[in-house]
Amino acid sequence: MTLKEIWTLRRLEHQVFRQIVEEWEDDFGAELSLPLRDVSAHENRANGRFGAFVRRLPNALAPCDDGGRLPRRGEGDRSLAFLLWPPEHRSSYCVQPDVVPVVIDFWRKHFAPAERIFARSPAVFVTNREIQLAFADTSLGARVHYLPLSVSARHVRPVLAPRTVDLIQVGRQNSKLHRWALDYVGLRPGANYLYADTSGTWPRWTATDRGPLEVDNSRESYWALLRSSRVSLVSAPGIDGGETRTGGLNPVTPRFYESAAARCHLVGRFPRDGADFLANRVASACRHADSFEEFVEAVDRARHAPPPVAALDAFLSGHTSAEVARALRTALAAPSSALAA
């Protein structure tokens, strides 16, 4: 199976969490020598009135391109597309017979329609080992493959800036870690905690010692904050109240890899027996806290110790975007029987 290009929706989707997807698209494109093609207009049409009309036709015909034609390809040629979550319908431009999707957020609610949505996909890559195992005995089983998340190698480098933040929690907020961090800074005079409220379109940052911060929400500012922090609080998305959203599924999120690349100490909460956390050796780099007492002990130790660079590098091995892109290429080059294994 040969890839010819990477499809992107960057003109259609502008959420802050799309920024890391665009990094993956750029890195995969560079490593695999694939051009990017923006299909935002096509996907917008598939989700609009045209798509609604198409979905009423027999066999749910695929949407057309701007010239009214489906792209003409050579035998076996495919496009790669990173999807934040599975599409709601089969007329999405990214679940057609000539597209290989990489699905990032795949939750329990997506299981039931998945066999219908991805019926024509030649292969589907999921970023949580739990999902691959769940589909093993279904009609999709032979076409569902695992691809771990990653961090761009451009971010893996020594940190020379001073560490002025003791605790940071970025992205989705774990309520238990947030409460423990606030209690910790009350327990340890001089300690500070930086966190983001992600309930709106853009994160709003607050520091316990400075109050609300003006941050431009660029990737550059994000990495500057992460590199200025000693301890990064990380967590699985399907615990401590997240079960409702994910259905109890727990992938290793990009924050684990980003925090390791920023040379932070990692303290967090995750299912130590979770399939994705075992597969990616998270416990080797992240201290798990079951109680506030364990949290205090872990943070006290981390605040006064240099970053465990050797452990962080070992954890990141195989998880730069270029390495994961090569793994995807190897999987797609395998014979059908090996690809289905």
Quote the domain boundaries for residue 306. Answer: 153-316
Residue 67's pLDDT band, with cuts at 50, 70 and 90, is very low
Q: Is the pLDDT of residue 214 over 90?
A: no
What would the mean pLDDT of 250-258 be, rounded to a whole number?
Answer: 97
Do 229 and 281 lie in one domain? The reply is yes
Distance in angstroms (rounded) separating the CA atoms of residues 176 and 168: 14
The mean pLDDT of 84-113, rounded to a whole number, is: 88
SS3 per-residue string spanning the chain: CEEEEEEECCCCCCCCCHHHHHHHHHHHHHHHCCCEEECHHHHHHHHCHHHHHHCCCCCCCCCCCCCCCCCCCCCCEEEEEEECCCCCCCCCHHHCCCEEEEECCCCHHHHHHHHHHCCCCCCEEECCHHHHHHCCCCCCHHHEEECCCCECHHHCCCCCCCCCEEEEECCCCCHHHHHHHHHHHHHCCCCCEEEEECCCCCCEEEECCCEEECCCCCHHHHHHHHHCEEEEEEECCCCCCCHHHHCCCCCCCHHHHHHHHCCCEEEEECCCCCHHHHHCCHHHCEEECCCHHHHHHHHHHHHCCCCCHHHHHHHHCCCEHHHHHHHHHHHHHCCHHHHCC
Residues counted in the chain: 341
Q: 49: pLDDT confidence band, cut at 50, 70 and 90?
A: low
Q: Is the pLDDT of residue 205 over 60?
A: yes
Q: Which residues contact 211 (CB under 8 A, 6 or more apart)?
A: none
Q: How far is it, in rounded angstroms, from Cα 163 to Cα 316?
A: 21
Q: Contact 174/269 with Cβ under 8 angstroms?
A: yes
Report the C-alpha gap between 71 and 37 in whole angstroms. Answer: 12
| Residues 141-165, mean pLDDT to the nearest whole number | 94
Is residue 267 within 8 A of residue 300, CB to CB? The reply is no
Q: For residues 19 and 111, state if they share a domain.
A: yes
Same structural domain, 237 and 128: no
The number of folded domains in the chain is 2
Looking at the structure, do residues 211 and 122 belong to the same domain, yes or no?
Answer: no
pLDDT at 126 over 90: yes
d(CA 126, CA 66) in angstroms, rounded, equals 30
Judgement on whether residues 310 and 161 belong to the same structural domain of the protein: yes
Confidence band (pLDDT; 50, 70, 90) for 46? Answer: low
Confidence class of residue 203 from pLDDT cuts 50, 70 and 90? confident
Query: What is residue 307's predicted lDDT score, i.e. its pLDDT?
Result: 96
Is residue 171 domain-shared with residue 287, that is, in the same domain?
A: yes
The reported pLDDT for the residue numbered 93 is: 72
Q: Give the residue, 337 or 77, on which the prediction is more confident.
A: 77
Question: Predicted confidence band at 13 (pLDDT cuts at 50, 70, 90)?
Answer: low
Scan for tokens 């034609």, then name that residue. Answer: 69
Question: According to the model, what pLDDT value does residue 73 have?
Answer: 52
Query: What is the arithmetic mean of pLDDT over 189-211?
Result: 87
Indicate whether 106 and 182 sit together in one domain: no
Q: 145: pLDDT confidence band, cut at 50, 70 and 90?
A: very high
Q: How many CB atoms lie within 10 A of CB 294?
A: 14
Does the pLDDT of residue 65 top 50, yes or no? no
Query: Residue 75 pLDDT > 90, yes or no?
Result: no
On whether both 182 and 168 belong to a single domain, the answer is yes
CA distance 28 to 325: 5
pLDDT one-digit tens code per residue, 81-97: 999 999 887 767 788 88
Based on the domain organization, do 179 and 132 belong to the same domain?
no
- 61 with 73, same domain: the answer is yes
Cα–Cα distance list, 68 to 59, 64, 163, 257 (Å) = 18, 5, 55, 42
How high is the pLDDT of residue 70?
44
CATH code (residue 283)? 3.40.50
Mean pLDDT confidence for 245-260: 97
Res. 339: pLDDT tops 50: no
Residues 119 and 180 in one domain: no
d(CA 325, CA 330): 9
Distance from C-alpha of 334 to C-alpha of 40, rounded to nearest angstrom: 31
Decide which of 66 and 174 is more confident.
174
Which of the two residues, 1 and 341, has the higher pLDDT score? 1
Q: Do 135 and 205 lie in a common domain?
A: no
Higher per-residue confidence, 67 vs 62:
62
